[in-house]
């Protein structure tokens, strides 16, 4: 019974998520058919903390998956030659690519023009002033999201002084 509830909950979650991505709504029969197919092929998560699907835990109980078309031998060899030429192979036991370990052996990579120190400082100071920096902790929120009352006046002043372009940026 627990298996059926877990399966049904997963399928309902998947159906809800699919609806959130502007796909056409599925009928009850379509959802039931998908559920039956998922159970038949073992494409449902097993009970417990393994995080694996039934067809991953018990492959002998379910039909084999269709093979994904692979690359030809010539394509693989061409990719290997490119990796060797560009120094993209990882050195055995080192965890670094050949380019990282021996940069003098390979041509320099084209580097895009970066920002100046003054530009970076100005952006950092602006982010501190507007609270547009990630707050400490595991939430991943920015300071102006975690403490909106602290940064409301600064955002309004910034919008007033910078004109309509900044006002639309502040509204985001």
| 25-44 tens-digit pLDDT | 889 999 999 999 988 888 88
Same domain flag for 7 and 54: yes
- Residue 103 CA to residue 97 CA, distance in Å, equals 10
Query: Could you list the residue range(s) of the whole structural domain that residue 89 is in?
Result: 73-105
For residues 158 and 166, the answer to whether their CB atoms sit within 8 Å is yes
Question: Per residue in 45-87, pLDDT tens?
Answer: 888 877 888 888 888 888 777 777 889 999 999 999 999 888 8
Question: Per residue in 129-162, pLDDT tens?
Answer: 888 888 887 778 888 888 888 887 765 655 666 5
Q: Identify whether 67 is part of a domain.
A: no
Same domain flag for 83 and 51: no
- Residue 159 CA to residue 164 CA, distance in Å, equals 7
Q: Identify whether 127 is part of a domain.
A: yes
- Residue 83 CA to residue 158 CA, distance in Å, equals 49
SS3 45: strand
- Residue 57 CA to residue 60 CA, distance in Å, equals 9
Q: Identify whether 112 is part of a domain.
A: no
Same domain flag for 101 and 125: no
- Residue 23 exposed, middle or buried by CB count within 10 Å (0-12, 13-18, 19+): exposed
Same domain flag for 154 and 127: yes
Indicate the number of domains in the chain.
Answer: 3
The pTM is what?
0.31
For residues 134 and 142, the answer to whether their CB atoms sit within 8 Å is yes
Same domain flag for 80 and 56: no
Separation in Å, CA 59 to CA 39, 55, 101, 138, 169: 13, 5, 42, 38, 52
Contacts of 139 (CB under 8 A, 6+ apart): 146
């Amino acid at each position: 019974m627990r298996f059926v509830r877990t399966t049904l909950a997963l399928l309902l979650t998947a159906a809800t998520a699919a609806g959130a991505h502007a796909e056409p709504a599925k009928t009850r029969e379509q959802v039931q058919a998908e559920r039956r197919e998922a159970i038949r092929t073992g494409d449902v998560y097993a009970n417990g903390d393994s995080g694996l699907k039934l067809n991953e835990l018990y492959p002998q109980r379910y039909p084999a998956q269709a093979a994904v078309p692979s690359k030809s031998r010539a394509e693989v060899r061409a990719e290997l030659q490119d990796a060797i030429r560009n120094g993209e192979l990882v050195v055995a036991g080192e965890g670094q690519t050949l380019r990282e370990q021996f940069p003098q052996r390979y041509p320099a990579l084209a580097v895009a023009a970066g920002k100046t120190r003054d530009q970076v400082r100005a952006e950092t100071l602006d982010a501190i002033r507007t609270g547009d920096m990630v707050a400490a902790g595991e939430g991943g929120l920015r300071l102006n999201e975690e403490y909106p009352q602290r940064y409301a006046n600064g955002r309004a002043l910034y919008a007033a002084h910078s004109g309509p372009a900044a006002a639309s940026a502040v509204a985001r």
